[in-house]
Every structure is written in C-alpha cells, then in structure tokens.
Amino acid sequence: MTEQAQRPFLYVVVCAAGIAADVGRLITAAQERDWEVGVIATPVAMNGFFDTAAVEARTGRPIRSAWRTPGDPRPFPPPDAVVVAPATFNTVNKWAAGLADTLAVATLCESYGLGVPVAVLPCVADALAAHPAYQDSLVRLRGMGVRFGEPYSGEVGEDGVRPEFGWETALDLLGRR
C-alpha cells in the first residue's frame, strides 16, 4: 500500500454557484490536513463555474460528474468523509428528498447509508433560503447527521464588502485537523 493510499479520502462535491471558482482553496486546505481529495461536480458546475483543469492538476484525479458504466473501475476509493461546497438550493432540496438524478446527489444520498460524515457549506440567496421546502430540507438533513456551516448568500454586506466564504469551516465541521 502506498503512502498516498493510506491517507483518508475526502470527496468534495461542487455545485453551480459563483463562489465555486475558489474551490481550490478547500482542496489545498484539505491536502494540508493530510486528506487525499477527489472532486465530484454537478453537471451544471462543470460548465465554467470553476477551473476544471486546475482542480484535476491539484488533485491528480479526473473530476467525476457523469455515471460510470458497470464495467468501468471505480475512479475513487470509498470516502472517509464528504464536503459539499458550495451547496446550492437545488442540490440541498434534491438530496433531502432522495432525488438521486445526478452523480453528485446520488453520492450524497449514498453517503448517509454508508455512515460517512458529511459537512455542507450552503451558498443560497436569502430569497431562496426563505422557501419552506429549503427549510424542511435543512431539518431533514440535520436529522440525518449532516453538519452545516453558516449560510452564505454571496450578498454584499452593509459595509459594501462581500463576506469570505468559509472553505476551511467544512473541514473543521468534520472534526479532523
């Protein structure tokens, strides 16, 4: 077994939000904490929301977004933990409802059944976050043991500054330094 294979494996699920452009910060922080990282992106996130070539170079692995065929080998080892960042309104609601229509959401649904810890950094506009379905989804996912960071709307504050997205918070939520 190689040294790399002995490191715990973190799945990073990336959704289609503008802040996803900075997902390299999460990957770097995870690697600094001795995680091996594989990225799974929603199909929409693959369409220019982040630099896929840079992420693949950083992780040394292809980004997963589409289903593999039954004869294809699994490209990632089983996860020791999962981080969803940024987590969008759509992904949170589909996940809570068990609508596994993309590889990203199916991975999240399966993580519960496998007992894998999951940390989430939501990136949802305030108007969408107010929707009752979203609030119900948060309750359901928290009841499943999912750990949530502070909500992030991406809105500019009263001081005219957009707050930082707490990439490393996700790793803190997993309790592994």
Per-residue pLDDT for the chain (177 aa), expressed as one digit of tens each? Answer: 444 458 999 999 999 999 999 999 999 999 999 999 999 999 999 999 999 999 999 999 999 999 999 999 989 999 999 999 999 999 999 999 999 999 999 999 999 999 999 999 999 999 999 999 999 999 999 999 999 999 988 887 788 888 889 999 999 999 854
At 73-113, the pLDDT tens digits run: 989 999 999 999 999 999 999 999 999 999 999 999 999 99
Indicate the number of domains in the chain.
Answer: 1
Query: Is 143 inside any structural domain?
Result: yes
pTM for this model (two decimals): 0.93
d(CA 118, CA 115): 9
Query: Is 73 inside any structural domain?
Result: no
Query: Is 100 inside any structural domain?
Result: yes
Token pair, residue 37, equals 């990282």
Cβ-contact 108, 66 below 8 angstroms: no
CATH of the domain at 85: 3.40.50.1950
Structural domain of 149: 3-68+78-174
How far is residue 41 from each of residues 15, 77, 104, 127, 168, measured CA to CA in Å?
Answer: 6, 17, 6, 24, 19
Kindly report the length of the chain. 177
